[in-house]
Amino acid sequence: MKSINPYSGKLIKKYNFFTLSKVNQTINVANDTFNNWKKLDLDKRINIIQKIKQNLIDDRLESAKEITSEMGKPFSESLLEIDKCIWLCDYYIENSEKLLKSKLIKTEAYKSYVSFEPLGVIFGIMPWNFPYWQIFRFVIPTIISGNVTIVKHAPNVTGCCLRIKKIFSKNIEYKIFQPLIIDTKDVEHIIKNQLVRGVSLTGSDKAGSAVGKLSGKYVKKTLLELGGSDAFIVCEDADINKAAKKAVMARMQNTGQSCIAAKRFIIHKNVKNKFINRLIHHLSSMKIGDPMLKETQIGPLARKDLLNQLKIIFDDAINKGANIIYQTNDIPKNGYFFKPSIIENIKPSMKVYSCETFGPLFSIYTFQEENEAISLANDTPYGLGGSIWSKDLKNAEILAKKIYTGAIYINEMTKSDPRLPFGGVGLSGIGRELGAYGIKEFINVKTIYID
């Protein structure tokens, strides 16, 4: 297993896969830990989350460097990713007692209520694009509710995973987070283990389908957070300057490598030209280059194969008649860079119409009537997020309810927030992370009836 710097192309480090014996040992240790961890009072588990938070704060700069080195995220964004993990810890430290409190249900019984109890060892399969945030948003609510976690991270961010292990271990006796350095072929071996009680995967719809099949085979609780092809709808009455500025942020965060990035820009015909002019104005001013430099806003894609996949989608669109409205020419010669591009005249026969585009590629569509915009927004197998831009908030809210996704943001870009449930429908997955709903995904919702 190799970790390669996507800017320099140099090998960072090689890692050996765990043997199945070591995998089994890790699961056994996790289960032993669970038997003690679940007995702790919630306030004691919260105290340990506070230690984890402090460990992360202490390692903030080095953790951000690890992210940027392994997957090319601009360093300024890597710092923000760490800060978001700290925010998430704060949210669950402050709210978990209320969220996990038993709920009384009035019946004819002397007493009846619902108790929220942990399941056990939960297996996480995590992606590379937000190597710390994805781990923390899975692990923190899962362990604070009494479970323990084992995690297979993406191979190219193994260094991040091992660094996170130290953050969860420093001055902490409980092994509530343990990494598994394994090949994909070993995933079934873990899922079928009787000590593993649930599976959480963030990744592609293909990976989700494969893991969902295994989870069904072995009857394991499953959460799948998969891809997206979010619509960014700009109505005729929208604040075009604000919408265009946010559009660049929504598409270009993490160099476009985000499941909730805006990918399909559906613009009212009467404001299309103004919107595109403002879009180009903001996009052309962004700095491309070495992601370790504080002024860099656009880094390389995380791996060469990801760059090649995006090039195939782009070339297919151009060969079938799509027009290039704008394309950056000044990009570094080294590194896995894709020229930030804006294209239009997109047809259903093109790959870009139906595929998730993971990178700095803007796809422009236009509409005249609102029903056209809704039809375009829903013409995708995905359903993760989306946004609507309009000064008519009442009408925008009506439109939001017509779009088949897990979230719609009005006059704001789609984003994950520790306070709000996060997840999708269709090929975007099943289940919810974060907020009051996320903390209960890997929970035994137990009815207790006393007469």
Active-site positions?
A: 225, 259
The residue count of the chain comes to: 451
Q: What is the DSSP string of 340-376?
A: -EEEE---TTSHHHHS---SSEEEEEEESSHHHHHHH
Q: What SS3 state is found at 114?
A: strand
- With 0-12 / 13-18 / 19 or more C-beta atoms within 10 angstroms meaning exposed / middle / buried, residue 108 is exposed
3-state SS, residue 22: helix
Whole-angstrom distance, CA of residue 328 vs CA of residue 336: 15
Instruction: Determine contact, residues 233/389, Cβ cutoff 8 Å.
Output: yes
Contact 438, 139 (CB under 8 A): no
Task: Say if strands 429-430 and 221-225 run parallel, antiparallel, or are unpaired.
Answer: antiparallel
Mark 19-40 as b/e (b = at least 16 C-beta within 10 Å). eeeebeebbeebbebbeebbee
**Tell me, what amino acid is at 2?**
K
Q: What are the C-alpha distances in Å from 189 to residues 112, 179, 183, 201, 350?
A: 39, 15, 11, 16, 38
Centroid of chain to Cα 413: 15
Across the beta sheet with 177-179, the strand order is 177-179, 148-152, 121-125, 196-202, 221-225, 429-430
Q: Are strands 361-367 and 262-268 parallel, antiparallel or unpaired?
A: parallel
AA letter at 401: K
User: And the tokens for 447?
Assistant: 């009815």
What is the secondary structure of 407-450 as a DSSP string? --EESS-----TTS-B--SGGGEES-BSHHHHTTTTEEEEEEEE
Name the maximum alpha-carbon separation found in the chain: 75
Q: How far apart are CA 147 and CA 151, in angstroms?
A: 13
Q: Three-state SS for 166? A: helix
Could you list the beta-strand ranges (E) of 283-360.
Answer: 323-327, 341-344
